[in-house]
Amino acid sequence: MIVNRPVRICVPVCEKTFAALKTAALKAAELGDMVELRLDGLDAAEFDSAIKHIAELVRSLLRPTIITLRPTEEGGYRDLDYSSRYAFWSSRSPHDDVEFFDIERDVVAGFTSSDNHSPVAPNWARTICSYHNFKGMPANLAEIYEQMANSPARILKIAVEAGDVTDCLPVFHLLDRARREGREMIAIAMGSSGIATRILGPSRGSFLTYGALENESATAPGQVEAHELKSLYRIQKIDLKTIICGLVGMPAVYSVSPHMHNAAFESGNVDGVYLPFEVRDVASFFKRMVHPRTREIDWNLRGLSVTAPHKASVLDCLDWIEPAAKEIGAVNTVVVEADTLRGYNTDAAGLVAPLVQSIGSLNGLRVAVIGAGGAASAAVWALQRQNANVSIFARDPEKGRSLADRFDISCQALAQISFTGFDVVVNATPVGSIAGGIKQTPATARQLTGARLIYDLVYNPGETELLRQASKAGCETLGGLDMLVAQARLQYKLWTGRTTNPSVMHGAATTALRG
Ligand code: NAP
């Protein structure tokens, strides 16, 4: 499959007044290769006068510009029936060779119907025939494509809501088909599960991809900001040879991992891209999109990070698992090696490295691990390898007991416990994180008094309530960011065979977390 097309980022703007539309469009033109003017966003009182100035605005943008008048049933902001849209497009002719019209397929069909004897028709060489479905993936997608492909419009656009990441497959298949049939096409899976189609679409032949001016100004669900498409994902450089890595999770889109790994690719001059995959059903994702022997897509997938809630269930999807990951019961890294999938756990080594750097040898130290989930399991396994004397503290005694029994260590209920005498207390719960309540802490200063170092695996926010309580109690502190970077560097090494300077990932994560 050879695709050699320019990568175009189109930045849509949708504003209530013409003045605001103009300001936004000028910014969009600086950022994107194309601009889309969403006229359906204009207030009714502004519409007629705005239309008179559109040609002038398009001229001033110095960018190919798409004019769109979207009805609400296709994701627009205005109730526009068929007749009003037909009348609007009948009265427009595109300005020079820079103006494109995005016309819904029902109106395109109206212009081309054998019953239509009007001599007026859009300039088909400037027309995008579009179909949007915000409810999900239509069962008759192929039929819709075929009907649209019969139209004289130069470009076809199909945008459908992805309920799961595997809904990207029919969208990628549409791009393949259009390319084989010599049709120019834009195909998008909307929603956070469809982000892969927005980032990889142009490399697979999509005429353009849409990028939001700012996060709040996205005109469709899952739209990535244009500046992120350019500087984070570097989509201008992605082609079919680019190695693809990504994060499998639910949710995955708020992670800082794309920032760290893409920065490492860029700094190491590696032709690679790392993107989020929001996955509900991990077995189906691995079968249909990941495993080289069963997947339904031809792509250069090299590796995956795995996060909650899939770290344990992913074990069933792999051909080989390193012994440590088996003992921990969790895989956070997958490597695609020829036609097999190999699983690793880099959390364990990533957790120990910054701790040893901070406190020295762990041999014989008393360590309390709070929590009984995946991170706690990796912590206990890794700390035992360092000959630490580990105990578990869990809110659910049954879960704590079951983890403690696996590693033959003691377990206590978390409530009201004093950590006096412990060398290290590790928080392996989400308590205190953005997701787990930033004002919460798994232990107070009173409970921590007399412990030496408090290690919070939570990295967002950087300074958690637990670390504040620890400082109050006179303890040393260590946050989770160093572990995040350490485990990511090990993943990068597994995928590329190379090392990356910790400052590259650290800087990228810190900037992303601040933003
Ligand atoms: P997990 O498998 O869901 O386990 C979470 C554990 O926390 C469970 O034992 C849970 O108890 C416990 N917990 C949740 N809320 C609690 C509360 N209010 N009080 C007491 N215990 C509570 O999650 P995980 O994968 O282990 O991750 C845990 C944390 O570590 C997350 O914040 C994650 O971001 C962080 N982490 C950081 C890194 C890093 O690189 N810095 C790497 C991995 C994980 P129940 O079982 O009773 O619900």
Clarify whether residues 59 and 205 are in a common domain: yes
Taking Cα atoms as reference points, which of 420, 465, 460, 463 lies closest to residue 442? 465
Clarify whether residues 132 and 208 are in a common domain: yes
Cα(308) to centroid(ligand 1), Å? 9
Ligand 1 within 6 A of CB of 378: no
Ligand 1 within 6 A of CB of 487: yes
* Nearest residue (CA) to ligand 1, atom 47: 396
Clarify whether residues 335 and 213 are in a common domain: no
* 429, 456, 465, best to mutate for ligand 1 pocket (most atoms within 8 Å of CB): 429
Output the CA angle 399-401-407, nearest 5 degrees.
110
Ligand 1 within 6 A of CB of 428: yes
Catalytic residue set: 311
Residue 160 placed within a domain: yes
State the Cα–Cα distance between residues 404 and 426, nearest whole angstrom. Answer: 15
- Residue 352 makes CB contacts below 8 A (sequence gap 6+) with 362, 382, 383, 385, 386
pLDDT (0 to 100) of residue 375: 94
Clarify whether residues 53 and 186 are in a common domain: yes
**For the domain that residue 472 is a member of, what is the CATH number?**
3.40.50.720
Residue 501 placed within a domain: no
Clarify whether residues 311 and 395 are in a common domain: no
Q: Which atom of ligand 1 is nearest to the CA of 400?
A: 9
Clarify whether residues 339 and 358 are in a common domain: no
For residue 496, the SS3 value is: helix
Q: Which atom of ligand 1 is nearest to the CA of 460?
A: 34
Residue 405 placed within a domain: yes
Clarify whether residues 411 and 386 are in a common domain: yes
Ligand 1 within 6 A of CB of 432: no
State the Cα–Cα distance between residues 513 and 515, nearest whole angstrom. Answer: 5
Residue 488 placed within a domain: no
pLDDT (0 to 100) of residue 97: 65
* Nearest residue (CA) to ligand 1, atom 34: 458
- Residue 259 makes CB contacts below 8 A (sequence gap 6+) with 232, 508, 509, 511, 512
Ligand 1 within 6 A of CB of 359: no
Neighbours of 72 (CB within 10 A): 11
Cα(378) to centroid(ligand 1), Å? 11
Clarify whether residues 84 and 108 are in a common domain: yes
Cα(323) to centroid(ligand 1), Å? 23
Cα(433) to centroid(ligand 1), Å? 10
Ligand 1 within 6 A of CB of 165: no
* Nearest residue (CA) to ligand 1, atom 7: 429
Residue 101 placed within a domain: yes
Residue 2 placed within a domain: no
Cα(483) to centroid(ligand 1), Å? 15
pLDDT (0 to 100) of residue 165: 96
Clarify whether residues 361 and 432 are in a common domain: yes
**For the domain that residue 275 is a member of, what is the CATH number?**
3.40.50.10860
Residue 271 placed within a domain: yes
Ligand 1 within 6 A of CB of 491: no
Ligand 1 within 6 A of CB of 395: yes
Domain boundary among 240, 274, 305: 240
Domain boundary among 320, 345, 370: 345
Q: Which residue stretches of the chain have pLDDT < 70?
A: 1-4, 94-97
Ligand 1 within 6 A of CB of 249: no
Cα(490) to centroid(ligand 1), Å? 21
State the Cα–Cα distance between residues 270 and 401, nearest whole angstrom. Answer: 45
Q: Hunting for tokens 């706690």 — which residue is that?
A: 376
Clarify whether residues 218 and 296 are in a common domain: no
178, 187 Cβ separation under 8 angstroms: yes
Clarify whether residues 186 and 61 are in a common domain: yes
State the Cα–Cα distance between residues 336 and 339, nearest whole angstrom. Answer: 7
Clarify whether residues 291 and 305 are in a common domain: yes
Domain boundary among 299, 319, 345: 345
Structural domain of residue 25, as residue ranges?
A: 9-240
Residue 105 placed within a domain: yes
**For the domain that residue 98 is a member of, what is the CATH number?**
3.20.20.70
Number of structural domains found in the chain: 3
